[in-house]
Amino acid sequence: MRRFVRDNALSLTMFGFFLVFWAAQSISGWHAANADNREHHQPLESYPSYLTSGHFVEATAENWESEFLQMSGYVFLTAFLLQRGSPESKPPEGDATDQDPRQAPARPPTPTTSPGRSARAAWS
């Protein structure tokens, strides 16, 4: 179980945020719809009936249109959380960019050729 959570932390976090925010949107929308009904002297809606109403469907569709916040959250979280097999995520076993460059073994410089010799050799 622990390995599953570690290997899928990004997906689990994003899905959890999605559910929490969608639930919060539905509750606030239900309160807003009932306030509107009170203002127009209409009967109040129950929460389950609100979830099948056009008001909830429209609010959800409008909310999903603006995906910039969701995408910026996704980009930010991919820097910290892992998702096995995802090209956006770092490998679970670590990445060379995680290493401290001061800890890397010193490599001797490699020999180079002058650009003039290479160019002359290519054109001869």
Mean pLDDT for the chain? 79
Whether residue 68 has pLDDT greater than 90: no
Cα first-last separation, the chain: 65
How much is the pLDDT for 72?
78
Domain residue extents for the chain: 2-94
- Token pair listed for 37: 């009904």
Dihedral sign of CA atoms 1, 86, 21, 40 in order:
negative
How much is the pLDDT for 48?
96
